[in-house]
Amino acid sequence: MPKKGKGRGRGRGTPSESTAPVPRGERRPGFEEDRNRGHGRERGRAQLAPQEAQQHAEMGASRGRDTTTLTSGAMPPKSVRKPDVQQTSVPEFFAKEATSVTQPGASGPVTESDRKFKSSSQEAHSMKEEGLAFVREETEMSSKASSRKKKLHKAEEEAVLSKTAGISLGYKEPVKQTMAKRPNYAIIDERNHIPLYVNYFKLTFKDTVVYHYDIDISDSTKDKKIGKSVMSEGRTLKEDIEHNVKHVEHQKRRNMGKAKCREIISKMFCTNETLKKYCPVYDGQKNLFTSQSLPCKNSTQFPVDITLEGKDKRFFVTLTPVKKKDQTNIISLEPLKELYTNRSNEIPSEVLLVFETVMSHREPPLQQVHFRNSFFYLQGGMKTNLGYGLEIWRGYDQSVQLTKSGPVVVINLAAKAFHKAGPVIDYACDVLRTDITNIPRLTKFQIRSLSEALKGLQIQVTHQRHPRKYKIKAVSDDAASEILLEVNKKKVSVAQYFLEKYRRLNYPHLPCLHMHSNNNTTFIPMETCEVTEGQPKIGKLSAELTSTMIRSTAVDPKTRKDAIVKTASEVNNISGKYMKAFGLLMDIKMIQVDGRIIAAPQIAYGGPPDDMNRIAKPDKKGVWRVEGGKNFYKVVKIENWVLISFADRRRFGYEILNKFCQFLVESGRKCGMRLDRPKSVEIYGREISTEKVLYQAKKSGAEMAVVVLNRRDEYHTYDEVKFLADFKYNLVTQCMEDKTLGRINDQITTNVCLKVNVKLGGINHILHQKLKVFNEPVTVLGIDAIHWVRGCGYPSIVSIVGSLNPTASRYALTCDLQRNKKGRISQEIITDMKKMSKVILNKFKEENRGRDPVKIIVFRDGVSDGQFQHALDYEVGGLQEACNELFQKILPITYLIVQKHHQTRLFPARPNQGVGKNLNVPPGTCVDKDITHPVYFDYYICSHEGIQGTSKPAHYTILHDDNHFSSDELQQLCHFLCHTNVRCTRSVSLPAPVMYADLAAARAKKYADLHIASDNASSDSNIQRNLPDDVEKAIRGMQSFENNMFYI
């Protein structure tokens, strides 16, 4: 295919998976460093000076690409990687000490194994020493100059970052905090006891010796010598060295793919006579484990001839023992024994990695697609059409984790959206919901929508003898008959080129696919491309597709439990051979534990204190009703409001709109609100802008606007309404979809009143049972961070809400933007916690007439296990600094992590204790023994009724507790706060402060989404982008909005 110069793609940045650690149950702390070895994060930097090596390592980790650099004094390909050399960022369990020597002229230590790397002729080697010295000297001078330039550029870049947009860089290292210890276990008695099954399967182990090897795979079919540098008689020595550097760096950048790597390693152990007798397990990246020592004391290279994708290829696999502290490559299970005999509190991450690799190892050919910790079935009718080019694949999630009762295998059913395999034209028709082959020309909106859906997908072409694979960069604006290429100094269209070289195109009027192809621009007609199978959808689904997927994959507890037990038996059969080799045994019966049910709190509404009619008691499903004359605890009066409709006037005319207003006014009256009839009810079409409509509403003196949106209307959107109303006009808005008008009832309008009352300063309900913690001034904080898909380059948005009153029913808000230390990618941990928390604490003092809080309780969402220590150090430390500055003392702080992204599921052992039509565990079900962490202070609480499918409990981990709460006090506080969410009259899955912080961060992101052009995103994760000035101003200004709960 001819190529046309350099081009720039259109469409959003290619989403790619984050490498940050994921919550417990999916991946354990300390795994990322070892899993990502060989991706430029922890290895291959032995020949850099120590300080430079550390900087280089951090840059590589933040950019997610290889940072291996060779000086000309370094050894060629075989010696590039130094697994013996200890890296400062490697955890203690993976730390290695190298016996090394320094080679004259080299910029760093060279291990003993590297000294053995010589050319086949000792004489030839000595003859070339003079040339090597020259190259080393020249390269070192160049390297030093380059290093100085990099440092200067880095300093300038950081100076710019710190000045522009006020982005937090967080360079100050915090004081290391200590983790909270479990004070006790909650008491279980006959009244609150509930026996439960958990989807955990016990894993027992023997005292087995495990050997650890590093894997390096290179595609070097053109290089004839195995185990030596790639030399050519036609090149000078200097050219040879430069060639080797480029060759190795090129191989390091190659992403072989886990499936392909597994096939290569499997073929090597099946065909090599020396290796046939061994039973290895391999993680698909850099780690290989065996229960017997392999015959390779140092780096050993093996050729592997294999047929991949119809092509015969030769790969070279280098096996290198990964040396530990004792200079052997043996992993001992002793640290795990020490943990369970109370001789140590250290989590043996290396041992856990071995167990995880053994259980997830699959021998090719695979009948499943392995994605993260999940396995999805390729066959067997496990796919369901989702629409818009997607289908639902079913499978199971599997992981190994440590619990109080020992190692367990966690198995759960899994479902994920995958891109449909097949012709791109069929995919495009499904995305656009129309037959594009009959459309003379696609509109700009259709091209943009199609480009967003296709960007980053892998396709293979069908017009060539050997199908080649590409990644889609964008969809072209012009058709195949319009895009001109230069072929033999003559201009021809893509359609004409295909006619002359391949065949006549059936649809020359359709746009082409703009492909990633080195630095060139490659256009290929859509009809000659097919989407390859097994590509998961990256990023969030739309609200419509999410709803469809939840309905399609919801499984009641009994069905889920039976399916999980069946899957456990399947996993045991698949992994049995490898478990036996490593001394592991899995019980295929679910673990049974004892839980307790925390009683629900009573809810108080407005009225005289002695009026018991104002008290509502949740039922066993956690639901209560606002009826029987119950008024909101604090009501607002709304005299001037308007209804604005952008809905289709033919379907939703004035008659329906007036009916809705009548229902709303009546519902407000029942709740005690003084809600008058609207001053105006207007229907607007596309001819008038959203800004003009909102300006007129504000000018009329309206306190609030109810806005009806048409989801098919791209001219008047939710994002635009909220940005203009919140930021520009300070107008409270309540949006609703037009389809809601088709089913008007009292419940719908009551739910609208719940939101409107709070947005205008009211309080819906409070806890009637006052917890002991609220007997003195206390502020409860909720914290969350939200990110764009990787590659967009925009800063993360962080939000903090904090309660202001004794009933924890009114909250202040502050939002900010931040990047990580390198200013490159998203940052979860708040690096400027002091500044943000001071905003909340100052508002608390203002609201409470100068009175300081006595205690601070923090609920933190979005932090994974691997980030616990950083969150503790930066966020608790920053909050302590804020207290010290404001109050000249450090207030007692309790800091809890709340996680929902885990795979733990609870099932009632007695069906009569289940609630709802699905018989889920009742709200308030709590477990803090047996399945909890062996070191951390944690517990699981399911505070809500599972309406669809199986309930998922929240996982709470207490990292810091100066208030010395008992387990019972904290568990009760968490469950009670799940009843204070103002948006509904039922218990929810997470405490209200966490949900408010999430809503606020999501609102801030809506501001940004509105102003980010689709072609601004990039697949290059190194590109840093700033949000428009007015968006940054709006996000940072959210804390000063007149109503602090406008985001509800």
CATH of the domain at 863: 3.30.420.10
Is residue 578 assigned to a domain? no
Q: Is residue 486 part of a domain?
A: yes
Whether residue 64 is predicted with pLDDT greater than 60 in this model: the reply is no
Residue 230: pLDDT over 80: no
The residue among 912 and 1044 whose pLDDT is bigger is: 912
What are residue 906's DSSP bridge partners? 198
Predicted pLDDT at 821: 63
Specify if 1004 maps to a domain. yes
d(CA 474, CA 485): 18
DSSP 979-1013: T--TT-SB--SS-HHHHHHHHHHHHHHHHHHHHS-
Residue 146 in this model has a pLDDT that exceeds 60: no
Angle among Cα 889, 895, 897 to the nearest 5 degrees reads 160
Name which of 23-37, 398-412, 625-639, 792-806 the model is least confident about. 23-37
Same-domain check for residues 819 and 853: yes
Residues 639 and 741 in one domain: yes
Number of structural domains, the chain?
4
Residues 810 and 708 in one domain: no
Mean pLDDT of the chain: 82
In our burial notation (b when 16+ CB lie closer than 10 A, e otherwise), range 62-98 reads bbbbbbbbbbbbbbbbbbbbbbbbebeebbebbebeb
Residue 330 pairs with which residues in a beta bridge? 211
Per cent of the chain over pLDDT 70 is 78
Taking residues 340-363, report their average pLDDT: 94
CA distance 204 to 405: 11
Residue ending a domain, among 721, 737, 760, is: 760
CA–CA gap between residue 556 and residue 641 (Å, rounded): 44
Determine, yes or no, domain membership for 114: no
Q: What is the pLDDT of residue 587?
A: 98
791 and 714 share a domain?
no
470: in domain: yes
Q: Can you give the CATH number for the domain in which 749 is found?
A: 3.40.50.2300
Q: How many residues does the chain have?
A: 1048
Residue 309 tokens, joined: 């994708």
653 shares a domain with 782: no
- Band the pLDDT of 603: cuts 50, 70, 90: very high
Residue 54 has pLDDT above 90, yes or no: no
Give the residues across from 735 on adjacent strands. Answer: 707
Residues 783 and 884 in one domain: yes
Residues 857 and 985 in one domain: yes
- The phi, psi pair for 915, rounded to 5°, reads -125, 160
**Is 135 part of any domain?**
no
Same domain, 778 and 887: yes
DSSP result, 377-422: ESSSS-EEEEETTEEEEEEEEEEEEEETTEEEEEEEEEEEEEEPPE
Checking if the pLDDT of 78 tops 90, the result is no
pLDDT at 405 over 50: yes
Residues 968 and 845 in one domain: yes
Both 726 and 784 in a single domain? no
| Domain, as residue range, for 892 | 769-901+961-1013+1027-1037
pLDDT at site 907: 98
Residue 258 pLDDT: 87
Same domain for 983 and 859 = yes
3-state secondary structure of 908: strand
The confidence score (pLDDT) of residue 822 equals 60
Range in 151-155, 415-419, 635-639, 949-953 the model is least confident about: 151-155
Is pLDDT above 50 for 155? no
> Are 906 and 200 within 8 A, CB to CB?
no
Closest CA to 996 of 842, 951, 988: 988
Report the 3 state secondary structure along 460-503.
Answer: EECCCCCCCEEEEEEEEEEECCCCEEEECCEEEEHHHHHHHHCC
Is 449 inside any structural domain? yes
Higher pLDDT, 629 or 312: 312
pLDDT (average), residues 295-318: 91
Question: 431 pLDDT band (50/70/90 cuts)?
Answer: very high
Domain containing 484 — which CATH number?
Answer: 2.170.260.10
Residue 705, in any domain of the structure? yes
Q: Of 498, 532, 566, which one is at a domain's C-terminal end?
A: 532
Do 890 and 996 lie in a common domain? yes
In the predicted structure, residue 492 carries a pLDDT above the cut 80:
yes
Residue 88 pLDDT > 70? no
Spatial distance between the Cα atoms of 111 and 993, rounded to a whole number of angstroms: 54
pLDDT at 663: 96
Rounded to the nearest 5 percent, the helix, strand and coil shares of the chain are 35, 25, 45
Residue that finishes a domain, picked among 315, 331, 347: 331
